[in-house]
Structure 1
Amino acid sequence: MEPLDPGCVSQADLNFLLHRAAQKLGAAAQEASSVHGITTRGQLVLTALTAEAPRRTQLALGAALGLDKTTLTAELDRLERAGLVIREPDPADRRVRFPAITEKGREVQSEVQALHSKAENTFTAALTPQERQTLRTLLNRVIAANTSPNTGSCL
């Protein structure tokens, strides 16, 4: 295991450790996403749009993903230009849009998901399968138990 930089040891609290782990895994995920010309955030959006959930407005999608309106709009613009999503107007309110994934978007999402899984496996290679599951379980419990409002972007 690579030791912490001595200048950071005093900051090796949980926040620091989670942030540093997220930075490292995030960089690997971004590299994997860029193979297909999208961002990690773009993959997050595509994955959400592949879900069998009821059709969501752009505003509801942003809330579910922890992305503010400006950030989500910019990401959807990029994905739409790439032919990975379309935005359909609500017949009842022309100001409302429903993002939907295209067939090309589904293919890219699936391929990037496989690359993300490979990056995650490499990132957690020092852990046993049981430790990986325990890490996931504990992170989910911490997230679920925290009643603070969600703020900022999840990526």
Structure 2
Amino acid sequence: MLPDVDLESQPLKPCAAVDDPFSSDLTWLMHRALKVLSDDFDAACRDNGLRDMRDTLVLATAADGTPRTQIEIANTLGLDKSTLMSIVDRLENEGLMVREADPSNRRIRIPRTTPEGQAVLDRALAGRDKAVSTTLATFQPDDVTALRTLLWQIATAQ
């Protein structure tokens, strides 16, 4: 049973689930932080002719020197394979990516970033880095390192 509270005489208190850094729901905080950073990342992508951060991540993964199948890229990035296929199809149509046959199995395709795709990728990543630096400008370098470390541990938890 809840205690009787005189709502007229009590000041409204902030919702502890979202209004206090020490009691806010952790998943909500991460969701909001993701929104801020991903909106900035998406804007940097759009400024450079890409749709959103997924385009950049697909281009970057295909350009990192490790040959990956489309399914491996989807798994690496946590994308549904049909979502990845539509992204790769679009990037290929725009001349930013090609699919090459795997030398060991010609039925398997290895997406690769084209030189034009690499140039777009480099500009998008520079825009992302500038936006993140601006957002995190008040953080100490050790705080950024700690944040990255903790997020990595969460993102790669099995």
Q: TM-score, normalised by structure 1?
A: 0.81
Q: Deviations over 1:98-121 (max 9, x none)?
A: 111100011111111111100110
Bigger RCO (CA 8 Å, 6+ sep): 1
- The structure where helix makes up a greater share of residues is 1
**What is the SS of the residue equivalent to 1:22?**
helix
Q: How many residues align?
A: 139
Aligned to 2:122: 110
What fraction of aligned residue pairs are identical, expressed as a percent?
37
Q: Deviations over 1:25-79 (max 9, x none)?
A: 00000001001121210000111112121x2111111111111111101111121
Larger radius of gyration: 2
Contiguous gaps of at least 5 residues in structure 1: 1-5, 148-155
Aligned to 2:33: 21
| 1:10 partnered with 2:17 | yes
| 1:84 partnered with 2:96 | yes
Contiguous gaps of at least 5 residues in structure 2: 1-13, 19-23
2:113 counterpart (101, 107, 131): 101
Out of 118-127 and 17-26, give the one that drifted further: 118-127
Q: Deviations over 1:75-101 (max 9, x none)?
A: 111211211001123466554221111
1:125 counterpart (113, 134, 137): 137
- Aligned equivalents of 2:53, 2:80: Cα separation in 1: 16
- Aligned equivalents of 1:90, 1:141: Cα separation in 2: 33
| 1:50 partnered with 2:63 | yes
Query: Structure 2 counterpart of 1:128, which letter?
Result: Q
2:155 counterpart (143, 149, 154): 143
- Aligned equivalents of 2:125, 2:104: Cα separation in 1: 35
- Aligned equivalents of 2:116, 2:64: Cα separation in 1: 16
Q: Give the root-mean-square deviation of aligned CA atoms.
A: 1.8
Structure 1 residues 130 and 77: CA distance shift in structure 2, 3 A: same
Q: TM-score, normalised by structure 2?
A: 0.80
Query: Structure 2 counterpart of 1:140, which letter?
Result: W
